[in-house]
Structure 1
Amino acid sequence: MTSSGAASTAIRDQIISFAQTKLGSPYVWGATGPNTFDCSGFVGYVFKKAANVSLPRVSSSQATFKPRISSMNMTKGDLVFFETTGKGRISHVGIYMGNRQFIHASSGSRRVTVSSLDSNFYNKTFRWAINPFSS
């Protein structure tokens, strides 16, 4: 795990731990933290603060800035992407936590929350994941 593209488990743990400190923070469209977030603002804020990684601002750009990985190969700290609007483009992002769970700023729940990829809605709208640390 020392190649430039692989992030240590410690960094990935740090990302999840920091993200969890924001659970319950209000969802506000266009917000990038530190106390209110939209989905991509939340992901960007967490990665910048916890891992000093700068991500693109919007989910559709975050979804294409690294190669896609199979959902079978997802590991905690990877980004998971969804098409939630029915318009054929990525419209939502979260951070994978392992065990088919992800943390995200949800417009539906109006807060930062943890959801399951196996829930009916996210199972239907999930499109792909990326490893934000891949080179």
Structure 2
Amino acid sequence: MKKAIKYVVLLVAAFAVVFVSSNKSNQVFAASKPTYSKLYKTAKSKLHAHYSYGAVGPNCFDCSGYTKYIYKKSVKKNLPRTAQSQYQSFKKVSVQNRKPGDLVFFGGSKRSISHVGIYVGKGLMINAQNRGVVLESVSAPWWHAVGYSRPANLK
């Protein structure tokens, strides 16, 4: 009888260990999912940084260097180096389905992307350009939006 009780106690303990450890791994996974708030906080922290063609941060950027730096630093997502290669690398989304954190691309056409910014909602983006890192309208008259892409599914 004592052996049977020990066996049942061991079985219950083993089940409890498996259950608790699986819940912890799910919590770790859920906590590590990239969030828009982390991306936005990092992007905002670089407002007014200087612009320099070819610069990738941390204090000076060009447009694609900025998006690459922000995604890597905030959500551990590695983006290609140029605006054109960033456009070609990720799932496209329509204007109607864009979300904060998506990349917005500008240029003459889909084959001649010349600029990229991070869409932050309400028609605004943060981008690095000749005035430095700024918050501005996606529909500013000097930009011709070509499309949007979603490098990461942010919660």
Please say whether Structure 1 and Structure 2 have the same fold, judged by a TM-score greater than 0.5.
yes
Name stretches of at least 5 consecutive residues in structure 1 with no aligned partner. Answer: 1-7
Comparing 52-61 with 66-75, greater Cα deviation is found at 66-75
Is the CA contact 1:67–1:130 (under 8 Å) kept in the aligned structure 2?
A: yes
- Aligned counterparts, 1:1-135, within 5 A: 11-83=35-107, 89-107=112-130, 109=131, 111-122=132-143, 125-133=144-152
Name stretches of at least 5 consecutive residues in structure 2 with no aligned partner. Answer: 1-32
Displacement, 1:59? 0.4
Choose 1 or 2 for highest CA Rg.
2
Which 4+ runs in 1 deviate beyond 6 A? Answer: none
User: Residues of 1 paired with 2:138 and 2:116: CA distance?
Assistant: 12
Aligned length: 122
| SS of residue in 1 equivalent to 2:90 | coil
Aligned to 1:4: none
Greater helix percent: which structure?
Answer: 2
Displacement, 1:67? 2.2
User: Residues of 1 paired with 2:113 and 2:145: CA distance?
Assistant: 9
Is the CA contact 2:139–2:145 (under 8 Å) kept in the aligned structure 1?
A: no
| SS of residue in 2 equivalent to 1:121 | coil
Over the matched positions of the two proteins, sequence identity in percent amounts to: 36
User: Residues of 1 paired with 2:66 and 2:129: CA distance?
Assistant: 10
Displacement, 1:19? 0.5
TM-score w.r.t. the length of structure 2 is 0.73
**Aligned AA for 2:122?**
N
Q: Deviations over 1:5-42 (max 9, x none)?
A: xxx6x611211111000000000000000000000000
**Aligned AA for 1:126?**
A
| SS of residue in 2 equivalent to 1:64 | helix
User: Residues of 2 paired with 1:76 and 1:67: CA distance?
Assistant: 15
TM-score w.r.t. the length of structure 1 is 0.84
Aligned to 2:14: none
| SS of residue in 2 equivalent to 1:33 | coil
With a CA cutoff of 8 Å and minimum separation of 6, indicate the structure with the bigger relative contact order: 1
Displacement, 1:118? 2.6
